[in-house]
Amino acid sequence: MRSYKALLLFAALTIAAETLGTIIELPDDYNQASPWHELAKLGVGNLTETDCLRTCVVGKAPRVCLYTFVLEYYASMGTACRNCSDGVLEDCYLPQCIPADGVQRGMMSVNRQLPGPPINVCKNDLIVVNVKNQMPGTGSTIHWHGILQKNSPWMDGVPYVTQCPIGESSFRYAFQADVAGTYFWHSHSGLQRVNGLYGALVIREPIVDEPWSDGTYDFDLPEHTIVLSDWMHETAEMFFPGLPNRDPGVLPDAILINGLGRYHNSSTSKDFVNLTFPLATFHVSRNSSYRFRVINAASHPCEFQFQIEDHNMTLIATDGYPIEPITVDTFVGYPGERYDFVIDTSNAPLDKDAFWIHVTSIGFCVRYNFDQHAVLDYGKNSTALGINPSRTRPTIHNPLKITTVLNYPHAMCGEGSKYFCITDLRSIGRDSEAGNHTNVGMVEPNVRLVIPFNFHSFNVDAFHQAGTYREYQNIDLMKIRAASMSNITFKFPPSPIIFKEKPDDTFCNATNLPAQCQKVGNGTIDSLCHCTNVVVLKEGDLVELVLADADGDLTVSHPFHLHGYSFHVMRVGQNYKSEGENSLNHTYFASPLKDTVNVPSGGFVTIRFRADNPGIWMMHCHLEWHMAIGMGMAFWVEGNIPSPPPGFPRCGDFDPLN
Ligand SMILES: *[C@@H]1O[C@H](CO)[C@@H](O)[C@H](O)[C@H]1NC(C)=O
Ligand SMILES: *[C@@H]1O[C@H](CO)[C@@H](O)[C@H](O)[C@H]1NC(C)=O
Ligand SMILES: *[C@@H]1O[C@H](CO)[C@@H](O)[C@H](O)[C@H]1NC(C)=O
Ligand SMILES: *[C@@H]1O[C@H](CO)[C@@H](O)[C@H](O)[C@H]1NC(C)=O
Ligand SMILES: *[C@@H]1O[C@H](CO)[C@@H](O)[C@H](O)[C@H]1NC(C)=O
Ligand SMILES: *[C@@H]1O[C@H](CO)[C@@H](O)[C@H](O)[C@H]1NC(C)=O
Ligand SMILES: *[C@@H]1O[C@H](CO)[C@@H](O)[C@H](O)[C@H]1NC(C)=O
Ligand SMILES: *[C@@H]1O[C@H](CO)[C@@H](O)[C@H](O)[C@H]1NC(C)=O
Ligand SMILES: *[C@@H]1O[C@H](CO)[C@@H](O)[C@H](O)[C@H]1NC(C)=O
Ligand SMILES: *[C@@H]1O[C@H](CO)[C@@H](O)[C@H](O)[C@H]1NC(C)=O
Ligand SMILES: *[C@@H]1O[C@H](CO)[C@@H](O)[C@H](O)[C@H]1NC(C)=O
Ligand SMILES: *[C@@H]1O[C@H](CO)[C@@H](O)[C@H](O)[C@H]1NC(C)=O
Ligand SMILES: [Cu+2]
C-alpha cells in the first residue's frame, strides 16, 4: 500500500522532471575516493543543473546531481515583490520575491530564494554544487550539515579549517550522498546563516531499504520539508560585536517557516501584515500518512516548540538517523537538529479542512514571545493560496495543549509518560555506511575527554587599552565577553588546518597551552587563551566526550554539532557539578545517533563515537553568535587523510619580510 502510493506520486514527479533536464549517471567503475577526477569525464563542465529528484529505486544507477548556488546581497520585500506589500497575494509568489515576514531588509541569499534551493537526491548520488560568490567584499563557504564527507574532508566547508573562504569567485563542491536522511546546508562563515544562507538537503533511499515496518507512511514528498529559522530585521553584522544600548540585546525579530511568516511587533502588539500575507502551506489528503522533515536552521538561543492543531506526530528519525517510532503532540528542536515525523490524516476532524501549525520560541527566548504559523491544508485545491484555518490562531497566550513532548528543555529523562528526552530514543537500522558503530555503547572508550564550555567576562577598563584588539561580543550595557571550550577561545588559523602535514605548535589544546596563556586567572585580558584548539585522535579511537556547561547563566542552552561523524548520545544530565563527574556505569545498545545535541543550561551531555573518519573536524556550539566568539574546537583524526585535489585554492598571511 505504502510503496504503491509513494511510487505513484513520485513517478508523476519524476516524469515531469525528467523531461526538463539532463541526466548523468555515474559509471559503475567510478572512483568514490576521488570523485573530482571523474567530473570532467562525465561532462558536467557546461551544465548548471541536472535532474536528480526522483523515486529512489533498488538497482538504478546513482546520478551526478549538479546545482549552481549564486550568493548575493539581496533584499526581502524588494523590487521583485511588486505589490506584495499592498496585499496582492500572487505578487508575493513572483520569481525572486522573498516575502519573509513582510518587512523589508538587506539580507544574503542563494539564488534569490529563502530558504535557498533544496537539494533532493538518492543515496549514492554524487552531489556537485558550484558556489558562485557574488557578494562584493565578503568571503563565504558552504557547510553540508550532517554529511560525513568520508574521503572528502576538504569538502566540509569550514573556512580556515578545510578550505579558504570563497572570494568573489567560484568553488565547486563534490561529495557523496552516503547516508540517507534529512540534512541541510548553510554558510559556515561569520554570521551569514542568520542573514539568509541556508537550505534543505535530503537524501532518500529505496523504500525497501528503510528500517521502519511497512506502512509507517504512505508519502515522502519534497514539498513536505520544513525549514525553520530565526529572522532579524537588519543584517546580523550590525549587532556584532555589539551595541551597548540595544535593549533587549541581540535577538531575532521573527521566526520563519520555509522562509515565510507574519511579523508581529511585540513592542506595539500589532501585526505588521494582515491575513492575506503568505504563510507556508502544506497540502495533504485524508486517509493517508505523510512523512515530514523538519530542519532547525536557526542561529539564536531560541529553541523551537513544534505543534500541529488536532494532530499527533510520530517521530521516526533525528538528524537523519532512524529511531523506533514514538508518538507525541509536541517536540522541541534546537538549532542544527532535524526531526522526521509522520502524520496520519485519517484521524483529523471532518469539520475542518485546514489546521494551524504553531512554532513557539521557548527556553531563553520564552520571555520575548516569538511564535509563527503555517498551515496544514486538506482542501481539494492543492495550488490554492491564502488559506487560513477556521479556528482562531493559537498564540503564546492561547496555545495548543501539550500532552506528550520530546526534548523539552530541562525535562528529566524518564520522568514519566509526558516528557521524553533524547536518551529515551532508540536507534534502529543502524547503517554500517554511517561509520563503525560496533560496540560503541558497550565497551570502555579508550579516550575520555571532559570539555567544559563557558563565557568569560572582561573588565571594560582592562579590555579597552590602546593597542589591544581581542575579539569579543558586547551583549548589552557594559558586558563584554568571549566564549571558550576547555578555557580556550577558538581562533581560526590564517591558512586551512587541512594543509598541514601534521599537528604542530601553531595549534594549542588544554594540555598544550602557549606560554602567554599559562597565567589563567591572572585577571588581564590575556588570561583567557585565544588560540587554535586542536585535539589529536588516532584512527579507530573509541572516544567519549562529556560536554559540560560551566557557565553560571542558567537560561541559555547550547546545541553542539560535530562535523564528520554521527555520535551516540549516552547521557543527558541537568547538573554537571552534582552528577557530571560520575562516569557512566552502564552500557547502551541502541543509544540514539545524532550529529547535533543540546546541552541543557548548567547541564552536560555524554556522547561517544569511533574516530573512523580521518580528517579535521570542527565541534562547536551551533548558535551562530557563540561560534563567532570562540565556542568551538577541532579534532584532528589521524590516519590516511586524503590530500586536497590538485589546484585546491590556498590562502594565508603574507609578509615580504618572512
Ligand atoms: C557540453 O560540452 C561538450 C563539449 O563542448 C558537448 O559535447 C556537450 O554536448 C555539451 N553538453 C551539453 C549538455 O550541452
Ligand atoms: C501595483 O502598484 C502600482 C503602484 O502603486 C500600481 O500602479 C498598480 O496598479 C498596482 N498593481 C496591482 C495589480 O495592484
Ligand atoms: C515595532 O515597534 C517599534 C515600537 O513602536 C518600532 O520602533 C519598530 O520600528 C517596529 N518595527 C517594525 C518592523 O515596524
Ligand atoms: C491588508 O490587505 C489589504 C488588501 O486585502 C491591503 O489593502 C492592506 O494594505 C493590507 N494591510 C497591510 C498592513 O498589509
Ligand atoms: C476516509 O475513510 C473513511 C472510512 O473508511 C471513509 O468514510 C471516507 O470517505 C474516506 N475519506 C476520503 C476523503 O477518502
Ligand atoms: C494523540 O494520541 C493520544 C495518545 O495516544 C490520543 O489520546 C489522542 O486521541 C491522539 N490525538 C489525535 C488527534 O489523534
Ligand atoms: C486553485 O487555486 C488557484 C490559486 O488560488 C486558483 O487560481 C485556481 O482557480 C483554483 N482551482 C480550483 C479548481 O479552484
Ligand atoms: C569496527 O570496530 C571494531 C572494534 O574496533 C572492529 O573489531 C571491527 O573490525 C570494525 N569493523 C569494521 C567494519 O571496520
Ligand atoms: C578555566 O578558567 C576558570 C576561570 O579563569 C578557572 O577557574 C578554571 O579552573 C579553568 N579551568 C580549567 C580546566 O583550566
Ligand atoms: C598578569 O599578566 C600580565 C601580563 O603578563 C602582567 O603584566 C601582570 O603583572 C600580571 N598580573 C598579576 C596580578 O599577576
Ligand atoms: C595538543 O596539541 C599538540 C600540538 O598540536 C599535539 O601534539 C598534542 O597531541 C595535542 N594533545 C592532545 C591531547 O590532543
Ligand atoms: C551505577 O549504577 C548503580 C546501580 O544502577 C547506581 O546505584 C549508581 O548510582 C551508579 N553510579 C554512578 C556513578 O552513576
Ligand atoms: Cu552556545
* For residues 289-301, average pLDDT: 97
pLDDT above 50 for 13:
no
Ligand 9 neighbourhood includes 487 CB (under 6 angstroms) = yes
Q: Which ligand is nearest to the CA of 271?
A: 4
Q: Which ligand is nearest to the CA of 612?
A: 8
Ligand 2 neighbourhood includes 83 CB (under 6 angstroms) = yes
- Cβ neighbours, 10 Å, residue 501: 7
| For the CA of 46, the nearest atom of ligand 1 | 1
> What does DSSP say about strands 313-318 and 354-361: parallel, antiparallel, or unpaired?
unpaired
pLDDT of residue 17: 44
Tens of pLDDT, residues 94-144: 999 999 999 999 999 999 999 999 999 999 999 999 999 999 999 999 999
Distance 278 CA to ligand 10 centre (A): 59
| For the CA of 346, the nearest atom of ligand 5 | 1
pLDDT of residue 577: 77
* For residues 204-224, average pLDDT: 95
Of the chain, the percentage scoring pLDDT greater than 90 comes to 71
Q: Which ligand is nearest to the CA of 634?
A: 11
* For residues 336-341, average pLDDT: 98
Among 147-156, 301-310, 637-646, which stretch is predicted with the lowest mean pLDDT?
Answer: 637-646
Distance 171 CA to ligand 3 centre (A): 40
Q: To test ligand 8's pocket by mutation, which of 431, 433, 436 has the most ligand atoms within 8 angstroms of CB?
A: 436
pLDDT above 90 for 522:
no
pLDDT above 80 for 595:
yes
pLDDT of residue 443: 85
Q: In terms of pLDDT, which residue wins out, 643 or 484?
A: 484
| For the CA of 91, the nearest atom of ligand 2 | 13
Q: Band of the pLDDT at 524, cuts 50, 70, 90?
A: low
Q: In terms of pLDDT, which residue wins out, 577 or 383?
A: 383
Task: Determine which residue's CA is closest to atom 11 belonging to ligand 10.
Answer: 522
List Cα–Cα distances, 62 to 23, 29, 47, 181, in angstroms.
Answer: 10, 12, 18, 16
Q: Band of the pLDDT at 310, cuts 50, 70, 90?
A: very high
pLDDT above 70 for 21:
yes
pTM greater than 0.85: yes
pLDDT above 60 for 14:
no
Q: Distance from first CA to last CA of the chain, Å, rounded?
A: 70
Spatial separation of the C-alpha atoms in residues 590 and 429, rounded to whole Å: 10
Q: Which three cell numbers stand for residue 561?
A: 554539532
Tens of pLDDT, residues 405-420: 999 988 776 666 788 9
pLDDT of residue 8: 40
Q: To test ligand 11's pocket by mutation, which of 535, 538, 539, 543 has the most ligand atoms within 8 angstroms of CB?
A: 535
Distance 622 CA to ligand 13 centre (A): 7
Ligand 10 neighbourhood includes 516 CB (under 6 angstroms) = no
Task: Determine which residue's CA is closest to atom 5 belonging to ligand 6.
Answer: 327
Is the domain covering 447-637 a CATH 2.60.40.420 domain? yes
Q: Which three cell numbers stand for residue 590?
A: 541502541
Task: Determine which residue's CA is closest to atom 9 belonging to ligand 10.
Answer: 522
Tens of pLDDT, residues 246-280: 777 788 999 999 999 999 887 787 888 877 799 99
Residue pair 358/399 in contact by the 8 Å Cβ criterion: yes
Task: Determine which residue's CA is closest to atom 4 belonging to ligand 4.
Answer: 87
Tens of pLDDT, residues 417-454: 788 999 999 999 865 556 677 778 888 899 999 999 99
Within the chain, all domains assigned CATH 2.60.40.420 are found at 2-409, 447-637
List Cα–Cα distances, 563 to 44, 148, 491, in angstroms.
Answer: 28, 7, 17
Among 23-37, 285-299, 348-362, 627-641, which stretch is predicted with the lowest mean pLDDT?
Answer: 23-37
Residue type at position 185: W
Radius of gyration of the chain from Cα atoms? 24
Q: Helix, strand or coil for residue 153? A: helix
Distance 523 CA to ligand 10 centre (A): 8
pLDDT above 50 for 19:
no
pLDDT of residue 430: 66
So what CATH class is 2-409? Answer: mainly beta
Task: Output phi, psi for 12, to 5 deg.
Answer: -60, -45
pLDDT mean across residues, the chain? 90
Task: Determine which residue's CA is closest to atom 12 belonging to ligand 3.
Answer: 265
pLDDT above 90 for 590:
no
pLDDT of residue 28: 83
pLDDT above 60 for 20:
no
pLDDT above 70 for 520:
no
Q: To test ligand 5's pocket by mutation, which of 284, 286, 346 has the most ligand atoms within 8 angstroms of CB?
A: 286
As residues whose CB is below 5 A from the ion ligand 13, the structure lists 558, 621, 623, 626, 631
Positive or negative: CA dihedral 420, 426, 429, 432: positive
- Cβ neighbours, 10 Å, residue 433: 13
**Bridge partner list, 480:** 458, 474
Q: To test ligand 11's pocket by mutation, which of 446, 507, 532, 636 has the most ligand atoms within 8 angstroms of CB?
A: 507
pLDDT above 80 for 11:
no
Spatial separation of the C-alpha atoms in residues 21 and 222, rounded to whole Å: 18
Tens of pLDDT, residues 22-42: 899 998 888 777 777 777 778
Q: Which three cell numbers stand for residue 595?
A: 550529529
Q: To test ligand 4's pocket by mutation, which of 276, 277, 385, 388 has the most ligand atoms within 8 angstroms of CB?
A: 276
Ligand 4, pocket residues at CB < 6 Å? 86-87, 273-274, 276
Matching residue, cell 568514490: 32
pLDDT above 80 for 390:
yes
| For the CA of 287, the nearest atom of ligand 5 | 1
Spatial separation of the C-alpha atoms in residues 345 and 311, rounded to whole Å: 8
Distance 359 CA to ligand 4 centre (A): 24
Matching residue, cell 594543509: 499
Q: Band of the pLDDT at 528, cuts 50, 70, 90?
A: confident
Specify whether the backbone of 258 is left (phi greater than 0), alpha (psi in -120 to 50) or beta: left
Spatial separation of the C-alpha atoms in residues 597 and 605, rounded to whole Å: 8
Tens of pLDDT, residues 231-249: 999 999 999 998 888 777 7
Ligand 3, pocket residues at CB < 6 Å? 103, 233, 265, 267-268, 272
Q: Helix, strand or coil for residue 604? A: strand
Positive or negative: CA dihedral 483, 488, 493, 498: negative
